[in-house]
Chains A and B, each alone.
Chain A
């Protein structure tokens, strides 16, 4: 890797500061159109910079330690944050949703990343942070989108079509039979972003990871092969994560007597939602 590292131009603080001038476009736009986004822009820019600088230090530290324990701990922290973020993007919650999300995110991302590291890319040792952290990060970031979309669509479908679902139950359907249409719709919805991005990849969009590898001096052909592998990893982990999340949600919103239990739903009242309402600039647009 060292030989490759010489292939790119290093950026120091001055370069980064210069790039911040590009935000003048946003500031001026906000000024002229009176969008009132100036303060928010400042906050999110500073926030993003701090987050990235911090994770840079953490990664430096973990790479230098070169020990499995710290890498695995970082992986758990990343998965936990992803699972919280997945819940944060849903508009309807139920008891145990955070735990369900953690189980789904952790299970799907670790399984797929693990199989890929060991069985496909053949990384040795398997916990090598140069591979594990970015690959897991890519998988988590995309799986959480699918998971939050699908579970939101699932619960929304149950609420919107409650009468039809109860009509099925009343005619002798099991809760699974009654919910199947909604499960299908949820999984379909959750897969759409992945399918869409796969469809245009290479034509309209040059994916970030591939771009990064090329900037770092990798041969485009090598970068492309990594990108293909990562997209298949993402598609697989998203599907597994959604399936787990929707199945866990299903167990909560139906009970063992095959009753639809929408009384177990609630609108978000936890501290994350509270923070969102109180601090408008902390809303994320993604």
Chain B
């Protein structure tokens, strides 16, 4: 599903509200008939994962960044799979050596790739993508689109909610579209 609208129309705010990172004045968000509070917010966010527009990586290597979510309580029953991480990176055009790179030295596009893989590795059901390819070149963006499309198709019940300034990308990547008409806060 696509969220379209001009800058400042509240797309980011809507995505953040769905993930429960910001308060909502009205309305409710449910996953499988249960609200975030009923899931407990961390468990809900592990399934409905928001990807920031400006990807935020933590200190250390790319691998450390990809492994960190598995130390969280909500992922206690899962293990970090390095081969799978490398495979996902490969599909986004990054070699295995990329895992050893320092996160602080990455470009904006590379950081976006890491953030996307980091989110995919913990197997959410819904990904909230806030301009996920804004810093990627055309070829890398196409690879990311392909990866996400196959990710959705792999298992029933998966969904993407996607914002982008590129209307063609939204048309390619999504089958429904909601126009956010700049509501005023």
Give A contacts to B, CB under 8 Å.
161, 163-164, 166-174, 177, 257-260
Contacts and interface: CB of A to CB of B under 8 A. Distances in A.
Interface stretch (B2-10, B52-60, B138-146, B165-173): B52-60
B69 A164 contact: no
B45 A170 contact: yes
B122 interface: yes
Contacts of B21: 166, 169-170, 259-260
Contacts of B45: 169-172, 258
Interface of B: 19-23, 36-37, 41-43, 45-46, 49-52, 54-58, 68-69, 72-75, 115, 118-119, 122
B122 to A, nearest CB: 6
B73 A177 contact: yes
B51 A170 contact: yes
Contacts of B72: 168, 171-174, 177
A14 B55 CA distance: 68
A172 B23 contact: no
Contacts of B55: 167
28 contacts: A163-B56, A164-B57, A164-B58, A166-B21, A167-B115, A168-B58, A169-B21, A169-B45, A170-B21, A170-B45, A171-B45, A171-B69, A171-B119, A171-B122, A172-B43, A172-B46, A172-B69, A173-B42, A173-B69, A173-B74, A177-B42, A257-B20, A257-B37, A258-B20, A258-B45, A259-B20, A259-B22, A259-B41
A178 to B, nearest CB: 9
A172 B42 CA distance: 4
